[in-house]
Amino acid sequence: MRVAFFSTKSYDKISFARNADSYTHEFTFFEAKLDRHSAVLAEGHDAVCAFVNDQLDKQTLKSLKEVGVELIALRCAGYNQVDLDCARNLGISIVRVPAYSPEAVAEHAFALILTLSRKTHKAYNRVRENNYSIEGLTGINLHGKTVGVIGTGAIGKAFCRIALGFGCKVLAYDIYENEELKSLGVSYVTLDEIMQQSTILSLHCPLTPDTKHLINKNTLEKMQDGCMLINTSRGALIETKSVIRSLKNGKIGFLGIDVYEQEEDLFFQNRSEEILQDEQIARLMTFPNVLITGHQAFLTKEALDQIAKTTLDNLSAFEQGKVLENAVK
């Protein structure tokens, strides 16, 4: 198949080239984000390969259909950026990568926790400036802390295992309880209970109409004073304005995020020479107890290889008329 890649970075080209030898697909890589304006670039291709912040709205999908695109292969797990009803009506199939390296994201979530709890980011900057004072670097032990996990799919499950390894008491909330996790000592509780009892709360659920702004003014009020909130899932799970207020009044003691509600026109770009226009993320970065990374939790060699392999298999299955195991319905 002839495939147009959008939002392409160097690591995409490397990982797909590394895994493409046994496939016959032809690739065209575009750095541009896919939206209604750039969709015309897909002309002459059978499929497009899109990423998390590409805009697959009604107009974009119609434009893709007009230039002959039959398949959209998402090289990510989430699909909230796609107008699924429109895609179905147009006869465009959607496939995704439902799981690549759950450990990659889970480990990054814990990297945020460890960095915030021991202030290693601040220590790193001090030592580079020849400052070896440890004043103000007092941290907290993770052992014995109550860690809440919202969403126990593949990533949440991997995160729970890590938390248990640190000697944490692990609580979980999910509409589907995982019996294996329960046998390991994870306790499933209600959403209110996990908000109230968790010293550290980590989000690992998909973004749906039901989970949008899961962390909001009302749920924040239920959380412990000084708690740690971690989000490596989807930015819109958190209502940013409410979190900023909770940081100001001390309700949230630590915030670690790899995703952001308004990241679409910000993340995955080098904007170091520009004036930051997003006032909310600018405000977040003024807090000494906030750690932000730019949607890199997935970014490991192992995860990139699995994303490439699954995407290539998805393309081949469509080309050969096979059942699309990773179809988004």
Residues with active-site annotation: 234, 263, 295
Q: How far apart are CA 64 and CA 38, in angstroms?
A: 10
Q: How far apart are CA 307 and CA 303, in angstroms?
A: 6
190, 162 in Cβ contact below 8 A? Answer: no
Beta-strand runs (E) in 18-154: 26-29, 47-50, 71-74, 93-95, 146-150
For residue 288, give the amino acid letter: P
Q: How far apart are CA 133 and CA 25, in angstroms?
A: 56
63, 265 in Cβ contact below 8 A? Answer: no
Pseudo-torsion of CA 20, 107, 242, 138, nearest 10°? -150
Which two structure tokens, joined as six digits, stand for 234? Answer: 């989807």
